[in-house]
Amino acid sequence: MLSYRHAFHAGNHADVLKHTVTIQLLRYLGQKDTPCMVIDTHAGAGVYALDGSFASKNAEYETGIGPLWDRKDLPEPLADYVKLVKDLNPSGKMRYYPGSPYCAFHVMREQDRLRLFELHSSEAKILAENFNKLEAHAAAQGVRHTTRGKRIMIERGDGFLALKALLPPPSRRALVLIDPPYEDKRDYQRVKETLQDALLRFPTGTYAVWYPVLQRMESRQMPEKLKRLGAKSWLNVTLSISSPSPDGFGLHSSGMFVLNPPWTLEATLRNMMPYLVEVLGRDSGAGFTLETGEA
C-alpha cells in the first residue's frame, strides 16, 4: 500500500500549482510578526533529483518547471517560485526540485515552526537526510537556520493522526498542507474527516489541500464535500494542461482547495493562471477554474 514515490512526479504541472500556492500562503502569513506553525502531513522526501532514476523515468518535470525555467516574462508569484527552485540549483542547471518541506524551509522565518510527517519509511529517511544536508550547508555559510526538535520536527508517522495533537498551535497561526498520494481511495474520506476535526479544534487556521482531478467518483466529489465543511471562507483552483487521455491514465489536471485563504489569493491566481495555461497547455483541453465562497 505504501508504494507511492513522489520522485516519479517531481516538478510536474501539479507541483507547479501546489508549490506556487503554498509559497503565496506562506508569504502572506509571514507579513505579521507573530510566529506561524507550518504542518505538512505528507511531506515526502523534501528534495528530489531530477536526473535520478525515479524523476527521469517519465520526466514529468517537462510538463511543469521545465517550460518555466528560462522564461523572462513570469508573473510575480511564478517568478518567486522559480527563483526558489533556482536557489536550490546554484550551478544554473536544473538538477534538483524542492518539495513542500523545502519550500516552507526556504520561506519561513526564524520564529516560525515546521512540523513534517511522512509514513513511507524510505521517504521519511531521505527527508531527514535531506534536511541534515540543508542545515549543514546553511551552517557552512554562517547561517543558523534551525534547531532540530524545536524549530523543525521530522517524524515518521501518519500525518492525518498526528495533526490532532498540534491544533491549535500556541501562536494561533498555522498553515496546514495536506497532500496524500490518493493511491488508496480512502484518502479522500480521510482528508474530509481530518479537516472536520481540525476546524473544530482550530477554526481560524489556513488549510491547503492538493488533490488530483481524475475520473474516479471520489476525486470528482472532493471539492463539493470540502465546501460544506463550514470554514469561514474557501478557494478552489484547478489547472489542466490537456484533455484526459483515452485510456484514462496519466495526470492531466489537479487542484488546490484552501480553507480560510488570504483575501489576496484570489486576485493573485486570476492574474497567474491564464499564463500557466498558455505556457504549460498541450492541447485545447488546457484550462483553469477558480471559485471562492463563504460560509
* Structure confidence by residue, pLDDT tens digits, 52-96: 765 566 789 999 999 999 999 999 999 999 999 999 999 999 999
* Structure confidence by residue, pLDDT tens digits, 247-257: 767 799 999 99
With a threshold of 0.85, does the pTM exceed it? yes
158 assigned to active site: no
* Structure confidence by residue, pLDDT tens digits, 28-46: 999 999 999 999 999 999 9
Q: What is the pLDDT of residue 248?
A: 65
Q: Residue 142's pLDDT band (boundaries 50, 70, 90)?
A: low
Among candidate residues 15, 179, 184, 283, the one labeled active-site is: 179
> What span, in angstroms and rounded, lies between the C-alpha atoms of 3 and 248?
21
Q: What is the pLDDT of residue 250?
A: 79
Mean pLDDT of all residues belonging to the chain = 91
Q: What is the pLDDT of residue 53?
A: 60
Q: What is the pLDDT of residue 2?
A: 40
> What span, in angstroms and rounded, lies between the C-alpha atoms of 267 and 5?
34
Range in 134-148, 164-178, 183-197 with the lowest mean pLDDT: 134-148
Using an 8 Å Cβ cutoff, are 97 and 15 in contact?
A: yes
Using an 8 Å Cβ cutoff, are 104 and 21 in contact?
A: no
Average pLDDT over residues 157-178: 97
| Cα 261 to chain centroid, rounded | 14
Per DSSP, the chain holds a count of helices (H) and strands (E) of 10, 10
Residue position matching grid coordinates 490518493: 182
Q: Residue 140's pLDDT band (boundaries 50, 70, 90)?
A: low
> What span, in angstroms and rounded, lies between the C-alpha atoms of 2 and 152?
25
SS3 content of the chain, % helix, strand, coil (to 5): 40, 20, 40
> What span, in angstroms and rounded, lies between the C-alpha atoms of 87 and 12?
18
Domains in the chain, start-ordered, CATH in brackets? Answer: 6-294 (3.40.50.150)
Q: What is the pLDDT of residue 135?
A: 72
* Structure confidence by residue, pLDDT tens digits, 264-288: 999 999 999 999 999 999 999 999 9
Of residues 55 and 170, more confidence is placed in 170
Torsion of CA 47, 132, 166, 174, to 10 degrees: -60
Has residue 289 got a pLDDT over 90?
Answer: yes
Has residue 145 got a pLDDT over 70?
Answer: no
Residue 194 to residues 120, 140, 160, Cα–Cα distance (Å) = 19, 40, 6
* Structure confidence by residue, pLDDT tens digits, 189-213: 999 999 999 999 999 999 999 999 9
Has residue 7 got a pLDDT over 90?
Answer: no
3-state SS of 57-90 is HHCHHHHCHHHHCCCCCCCHHHHHHHHHHHHCCC
Average pLDDT over residues 180-194: 94
